[in-house]
Amino acid sequence: MPYSDPANTRAAMRRYYARHRERILARQRVQRDPKRARQRRREREAWVRAQKGTTCSGCGRTFAPQALSWHHRDPATKRFNPSQANRGQEALLAEMAKCDVLCTACHRQAHPAVVRPRDEQGRFTAWLSENR
């Protein structure tokens, strides 16, 4: 229960910890176990790969999962990249619903390269100005 006085809040938290110390420490040991964390990460990555599938929605060809990437249809709605997220399944599914799965070639076509100005020798002028 929150208190208006910070000293009372701290005292209540200390009492709670004193009563539930063993349970709190046991939960922390489980959550901080590196082997378990690695296993959860692998399971989450496998689940995301399974959701992704192996077919490009742009060209329809089949690829290895590593050759496919998530493309947000509307970049303004992007909150995170599903393949790099440490989130719950509900948040991942919501973000995946905003995406198409594209192969590398189709993804490059969806994001055309920015034309960078070059000097007379063919070098990028931005690189020259930064490194002189």
pLDDT digits (tens, 9 = 90+) for 73-103: 888 898 988 887 778 889 889 999 999 999 8
Say if 61 falls within a structural domain: yes
Count: domains in the chain = 1
Q: Which residue has the tokens 């594209």?
A: 102
pLDDT digits (tens, 9 = 90+) for 111-127: 776 555 666 666 655 54
Chain mean pLDDT for the chain: 82
Count of C-beta atoms within a 10 Å radius of residue 106: 19
Residue 1 lies in a domain: no
Examine residue 30 and state whether it is found in any structural domain, yes or no. no
d(CA 132, CA 53): 47
- The verdict on residue 69 lying in a domain is yes
Residue 94 domain flag: yes
Structure confidence at residue 127 (pLDDT): 46
Is position 39 within any domain?
A: no
Average pLDDT over residues 15-43: 87
CA atoms within 13 A on the CB side of 81: 7
Residue identified by tokens 């399944």 is: 89
What CA–CA distance (Å, rounded) separates 94 from 62? 24
Domain of 63? 53-113
Contact 102, 56 (CB under 8 A): yes
pTM of the model: 0.57
